[in-house]
């Protein structure tokens, strides 16, 4: 324990560390749910050197670590996370467009919405489906974010990752398996940067697609309340929202967590929800859907800090 404290705690006092270290940082400040107990350390790494440094210290101390983006797909336990949460700062927040190749080179800490807006401004098509999706490029790649029919993975020409064993590694997007909200990145692989393909198109076509998608979101999603977006993946050929609605769970509540009245696949935080409330509601829905239809709903949301 003392060794843990010394090697990681030393970062706090190290002026040369390229980033910031926040001990006992409440994760409710870093999730769109606004839920979550403290991370033992939250570390913002501003360069690859800093990322490598903090990962090496954590590994050396046998302390778990994990990289997160904007926390828009995370449910963090009320007890918090007894490890190091890493976020990507300065050097991971740059974006460049190569006009000749029609490619964006984007750092993993860049908000997905910034890339979508930049593509729109330049009349480049291919990312309209992502309009309105919160989070970073790193989180979106890890989750293969998108709609039912389109996802980010299909735009990836190459991706650079860092892992303790392999260091920095760049590989073609075709070497990654991109499934429906799933990817083949290793659990300890941090996405650092990617290259995305887009194509010039009629700006009216791009605007039309984006506006239609935003209008659909506004109409069908509880955007004014804290959530993590869709809680469950849609089962093959069906919709999780439809199944939950049909078993009469729209509006169901545990503590401050409620199945949204607007979209049954959203669980919203009514203001004072705990992670425990949300988890209990998730498990109740799973049990009832299983009982009614024999279908196992798989969570899309990622759990952090639960036993």
Ligand X SMILES: Cc1cc2nc3c(=O)[nH]c(=O)nc-3n(C[C@H](O)[C@H](O)[C@H](O)COP(=O)(O)OP(=O)(O)OC[C@H]3O[C@@H](n4cnc5c(N)ncnc54)[C@H](O)[C@@H]3O)c2cc1C
**Residue partners of 252: CB distance under 8 A and separation at least 6:** 258, 259, 281, 284, 285
- From the list 83, 43, 51, 87, the residue with the least C-alpha distance to 64 is 83
Set 72, 181, 193, 213: catalytic member: 181
For ligand X, which is the closer residue by CB, 66 or 297? 66
Joined tokens for residue 119: 């593509």
- From the list 166, 152, 164, the residue with the least C-alpha distance to 108 is 152
| Binders of ligand X in range 237-276 (CB under 6 A) | none
Rounded Cα distance, 156 and 272, in Å: 39
Out of 35, 50, 108, 289, the only residue in the binding site for ligand X (CB under 6 A) is 108
CA atoms in the 13 A half-sphere facing the CB of 35 = 30
Q: Measured from the CB of residue 2, what is the shortest distance to ligand X in angstroms?
A: 28
| Active site (annotated) includes residue 230 | yes
Q: Measured from the CB of residue 154, what is the shortest distance to ligand X in angstroms?
A: 13
Out of 40, 70, 103, 155, the only residue in the binding site for ligand X (CB under 6 A) is 70
| Binders of ligand X in range 12-51 (CB under 6 A) | 32
Rounded Cα distance, 233 and 239, in Å: 8
| Active site (annotated) includes residue 25 | no
In this structure, the dihedral spanned by the alpha carbons of residues 251, 180, 300 and 215, taken in order and rounded to 10 degrees, is -40
Residue 213 touches ligand X, criterion: CB under 6 A:
no
Q: Measured from the CB of residue 114, what is the shortest distance to ligand X in angstroms?
A: 12
Residue 182 touches ligand X, criterion: CB under 6 A:
no
Residue 58 touches ligand X, criterion: CB under 6 A:
no
Site of interaction with ligand X (CB under 6 A): 32, 66-74, 88, 108, 133-136, 138-140, 142-143, 145-146, 190-191, 223, 227-229, 302
């Amino acid at each position: 324990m003392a060794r843990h404290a010394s090697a990681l705690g030393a970062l706090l006092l190290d002026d040369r560390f390229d980033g910031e270290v926040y001990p006992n940082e409440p994760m409710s400040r870093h999730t769109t749910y606004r839920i979550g107990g403290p991370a033992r350390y939250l570390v913002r790494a501003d360069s690859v050197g800093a990322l490598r440094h903090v990962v090496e210290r954590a590994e050396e101390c046998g302390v778990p670590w994990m990289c997160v983006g904007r926390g828009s797909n995370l449910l963090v336990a009320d007890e918090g996370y007894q490890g190091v949460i890493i976020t990507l700062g300065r050097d991971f927040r740059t974006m460049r467009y190569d006009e000749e190749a029609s490619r964006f080179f984007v750092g993993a800490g860049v908000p997905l919405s910034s890339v979508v807006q930049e593509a729109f401004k330049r009349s480049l098509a291919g990312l309209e489906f992502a309009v309105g999706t919160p989070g970073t490029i790193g989180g979106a790649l890890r989750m293969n974010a998108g709609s039912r029919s389109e996802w980010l993975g299909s735009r990836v020409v190459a991706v650079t990752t860092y892992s303790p064993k392999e260091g920095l590694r760049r590989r073609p997007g075709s070497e990654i398996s991109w499934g429906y909200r799933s990817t083949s990145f290793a659990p300890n692989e941090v996405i650092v940067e990617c290259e995305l393909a887009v194509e010039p198109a009629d700006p009216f076509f791009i605007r039309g697609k984006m506006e239609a998608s935003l209008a659909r979101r506004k109409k069908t999603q509880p955007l004014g309340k804290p959530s993590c977006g869709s809680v469950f993946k849609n089962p093959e050929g069906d919709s999780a929202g439809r199944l939950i609605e049909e078993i009469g769970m729209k509006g169901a509540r545990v503590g401050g967590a409620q199945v949204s009245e607007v979209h049954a696949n959203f669980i919203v935080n009514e203001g004072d929800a705990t992670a425990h409330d949300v988890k209990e509601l998730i498990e109740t829905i799973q049990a009832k859907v299983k009982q009614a239809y024999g279908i196992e709903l798989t969570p899309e949301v990622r759990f952090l800090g639960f036993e």
